[in-house]
Amino acid sequence: MSNELTFLVAFATVFGASEAIKHIQSDARRKEHRSRKNNLIVRCLKSCQYSSILEGRRVVLSGDKLYIDTGTHWAGEFGHPFAGYYLAYPDSSASGLVSTICDEPPIMNWIYVDRWSYELKFGNRTWADDNFPIPWDCSRQDRRLTFGGWEGFLAVKEGDFWSLYFDVDEDHLKSKLPEGTPVLEIELIRVEMRITKPKPPPPEDKPEDKEKATENAKESSDAKDRAEGAADANAANGASDGNGADVANGDAAGEAATNGGANGHSGPDKADGSTYPKGAYATPPEEPLESPAVD
């Protein structure tokens, strides 16, 4: 009996440890895929006259809104392709969604739903806080984008463009758009970004190049010392003349500095040491997020 009990206890211990390891590995994979940049691709739920135009198209950022790139202008790109991932929203336990808004430098902005128009937009945290910035997530199997725990994304035709909305009131935006506006239900698929060729590392400095650079720096320093010595000698000779020209020049320079510089222009000490023309530097506005490195 004691042997059977010992076996059951040992089996339960091993099984529990195995399940704990699986849970840790699953959680690590979940966090890894959520932190990787993805593009967004449109999938239409119903077939209609516009579905062939929108099906498989990517989402782009332009102005302050999210659009569907229908590719109608072949000669140039429209907007910046969505390249984003989930990120914990400040002062909240929910996940926000960020995307690059340009490549150089790779600045990130928050994606949010406008509280008045229900449009999908992007901006810094100040703009996001005033609207609906959370919670963003994805479906378990296909990892489709969700907001508020469900999928209510709509494509709306605005002139020659298709913009993205979220059906907050579940009425196909009847209270927000003019009657007759084309509105299509869509899904937003997160897809892995295209892998590009990595940039080559910078060339390493050869030993002989380092020695040559050191010699050039030494020669430059010696030339500077010789020039300063010659200038000191000339100054000494001028002072020995006794005509007082240098003293007069020094007094004039000091008076100009006291009166705000030559011709009345202010010097570098204006506005408490700032050279900013309108006074001291103001506190800069909140900057967007910087894109972290992605493996």
pLDDT digits over 196-224, tens only?
788 888 777 666 666 676 777 767 766 66
Domains contained in the chain, number? 1
43-57, 180-194, 216-230: the lowest-pLDDT one: 216-230
CATH at 47: 2.80.10
Residue 84 lies in a domain: yes
Calculate the average pLDDT of the chain.
75
CA distances from 112 to 9, 78, 89, 135 (A): 51, 21, 11, 9
Indicate whether 88 pLDDT > 60. Answer: yes
Residue 222 lies in a domain: no
- Provide the pLDDT for residue 5: 62
Residue 75 lies in a domain: yes
Residue 48 lies in a domain: yes
What residues pair up with 250 in beta bridges, in sequence order? none
In this prediction, residue 69 has a pLDDT band, given cuts at 50, 70 and 90, of: very high
pLDDT digits over 265-290, tens only?
333 333 343 333 334 433 344 445 55
118-122, 174-178, 191-195: the lowest-pLDDT one: 191-195
More confident residue, 226 or 141: 141
Q: d(Cα 71, Cα 55) in Å, to the nearest integer?
A: 12
Q: For 250-261, what is the mean pLDDT?
A: 42
Indicate whether 127 pLDDT > 60. Answer: yes
Domain membership of residue 94 as a residue range: 38-192
- Provide the pLDDT for residue 10: 62
Alpha-carbon radius of gyration of the chain = 33
Nearest to 112 by CA among 104, 103, 121: 121
Nearest to 166 by CA among 146, 181, 180: 146
Residue 214 lies in a domain: no
Residue 6 lies in a domain: no
Indicate whether 104 pLDDT > 80. Answer: yes
Q: d(Cα 169, Cα 111) in Å, to the nearest integer?
A: 19
- Provide the pLDDT for residue 207: 62
pLDDT digits over 132-150, tens only?
999 999 998 888 999 999 9
Residue type for position 49: Q
Indicate whether 264 pLDDT > 60. Answer: no
Task: Please name the residues in contact with 272: beta carbons below 8 A apart, sequence gap of 6 or more.
Answer: 280
Specify the pTM: 0.61
Residue 10 lies in a domain: no
Residue 106 lies in a domain: yes
